[in-house]
A = this chain, B = another copy of it.
Amino acid sequence: MKTAYTNGTIFTMDAANEWYKNGIIITEDGRIVYAGPPNDFEQQSVDETIDLKGKWVLPGLVNTHSHILMTILRGTGDDMNLKPWLEQRVWPLEQQFTPEIGTASARLGVLEMLKSGTTTFSDMFNPNGIDSDEVIHAIADSGIRGAFSHTVFSAGSEADQRANLNEAERFAKTYRSFADGRFTTMIAPHSPYTCTPKALEECARLAKENKVMAHIHVAETDGEIEEILTRYGARPIEHIRRSGLFDVPAIMAHGVVLNDEERAFMKERDIRVAHNPVSNLKLGSGVADVAALREADVKVGIATDGVMSNNNFDMFEELRLAALLQKGTYKDATRLPAEEILAMATRIGAEAVGMKHTGCLKSGRCADFITIDPSDKPHLQPAAEACSHLVYAVSGKDVCDVYVEGRQLVKDGQCLTMDEEKIIADANRLRKQLEI
C-alpha cells in the first residue's frame, strides 16, 4: 500500500537540511519512498492521499536515554542531589516494584512519549522485581520504536550478580530484532560507580559476542570523577576503556564532566553521548559542554532521562534547553543554532543509538514522522518562521499526528494504540502501593 501525504511543510532533517513548503511524503511498506517537492506527484500511483493542510512535518524525535520503568515515580524526590536521590528515593522505591507496576509504568511513559512526538527511545530497564518480558511486550504493542537494555548492577551476592548478567544477556539476545525489527537491544552496565571492573569486562564481552551496542551512565558529576579516580586511579573514561567496553559501539548518558583528551578519544572510538540537559540541571550535576563535543565531532543525541529527574518526556522542551544552555554558558547566542539542535534530536540521535534507518525523511528511511498543526496556536504565530518555532516555541503538547513505520499511532493528539484512560487509572492506583 502506497500512501501520499501532501501539502505539508516538510523538514527532512537530512544532512543538507532540506525542507519543502507544500511538500510530499510517499510511504510504502513502512518506508519512505519519496520526500520532496510535489513535482512528480502526478506520475506516482498511490493508493491513498492524505492532505496535511499545511501542517509542519518532521522526523519523529529520538530520545536517546530514559528509564521508562520509573515513570510511575514522577514527582517523587524533587530538589535532592544525585546520591541521596538514588539511595533514599529511586532504589528503595524500585525495590518495591511488582511486574504489574513495571508494566503500568512503562505504558504511562510510552503513552506520554508518543503523544509528545517521540517515535524512538533508548531505555535502560532497571531489573528490580521487573519481568522484562512483560514490559517489552507492552511497549511493542504501542507501536513505538526502541533500543532496550536490562541494566547490570554489581549488587547483592555473587550469585545475584551472575543472575543479573545472565538475564541481561538473555534479554539482549531475545529482543534484539523484536517487534518486526522495531526493537534492538544493548548491554547496559549502570555506571562505573555501581559496577565492578569485572562486571564491566563481562558486559564488554556480552556486547561483543552478541553484536549489540553498550549503554552506560558516565561522567555525570564531579563526585563520580573523584570517586573513580580514588578507587581505580583513572578517570571514568579511561577506567571503562580498560574494561574493553569501548571496543564496541557505545553510548554514554550524560558526559557532563569531560576534558579535551577524553572528547578526542570519544571521537576516535565513535563513543556517542546522550545529553540530558534537564536532568543534569535538576540533579545539580551541571551543564555538559555539548558545543565542545560537537566541535570534536562526537555524535550527541538529546534525551530526557527518567521523569523522576525531569519530570516529563517532552523532547521539544529538552532540545530547546540544550540549545539555550550552550548559548548561555558560552555567552554566545550563535552556539547550537536551530537547525543543528533539531538534527541532534532526530537524525543524529538515531545514529547515536545505532538506528540509521530512522531520524530523517528521505527515500529508504523508515516512515517515522510527526506533524504539528500551527493554524490554531497563538504561540506558533506568525507561522512562516516554522523552523524557529519548532526549536524555540513548540511544546510536545502541540504534536498532532505520529507515525511509526507508516502506521498512525497518534491522531489529532489522541493515541490510537493505547487505552489512555486505563493507563492513567492504573498508574494512580498502583502508585499508592509504593512507600518511602
Contacts and interface: CB of A to CB of B under 8 A. Distances in A.
Taking each of A82, A375, A388, which has the highest tally of chain B beta carbons within 10 Å of its own beta carbon? A388
Nearest to A81: B333
Given A81-B334, A333-B79, A427 B278 contact: no
Taking each of A281, A317, A389, A428, which has the highest tally of chain B beta carbons within 10 Å of its own beta carbon? A281
A382 B111 contact: no
A283 interface: yes
Contacts of A334: 79-81, 284
A213 to B, nearest CB: 28
Contacts of A330: 284
Interface in A74-89: 74-76, 78-82, 85
Nearest to A85: B333
Contact of A431 (B310, B375, B382, B398): B382
Nearest to A316: B395
A338 B431 CA distance: 21
B285 A328 contact: yes
B74 A311 contact: no
Interface in A340-386: 375-376, 378-379, 381-385
Contacts of A317: 317, 395
A420 interface: yes
A224 to B, nearest CB: 12
Nearest to A280: B328
B327 A283 contact: yes
A381 B108 contact: yes
A78 B378 contact: no
A314 interface: yes
Contacts of A283: 327, 333
Interface in A84-110: 85, 108
Contacts of A282: 324, 327-328, 333, 392
A389 B423 CA distance: 18
Nearest to A387: B75
Given A381-B424, A424-B376, A331 B222 contact: yes
A72 interface: yes
A109 B389 CA distance: 15
Contacts of A287: 328-329
Contacts of A108: 378, 381
A50 B116 CA distance: 32
A263 to B, nearest CB: 20
B382 A423 contact: no
B79 A284 contact: no
Nearest to A311: B392
A335 to B, nearest CB: 8
Interface string A248-287: 0000000000000000000000000000001011111111
A312 B379 contact: yes
A381 B421 CA distance: 11
A216 interface: no
A307 interface: yes
B392 A284 contact: no
A313 interface: yes
Contact of A337 (B78, B115, B392): B78
Contact of A388 (B75, B381, B389, B431): B75
Interface in A272-328: 278, 280-287, 307, 310-314, 317, 321, 324-325, 327-328
B424 A307 contact: no
B393 A307 contact: yes
Given A281-B328, A284-B332, A286-B331, 6 more contacts: A74-B381, A79-B338, A221-B331, A310-B393, A311-B389, A397-B397
11 contacts: A76-B385, A78-B338, A79-B333, A281-B328, A282-B327, A282-B333, A282-B392, A284-B327, A284-B333, A310-B393, A381-B424
Interface of A: 72, 74-76, 78-82, 85, 108, 111-112, 115-116, 221-222, 278, 280-287, 307, 310-314, 317, 321, 324-325, 327-335, 337-338, 375-376, 378-379, 381-385, 388-389, 391-393, 395-398, 420-421, 423-424, 427-428, 431
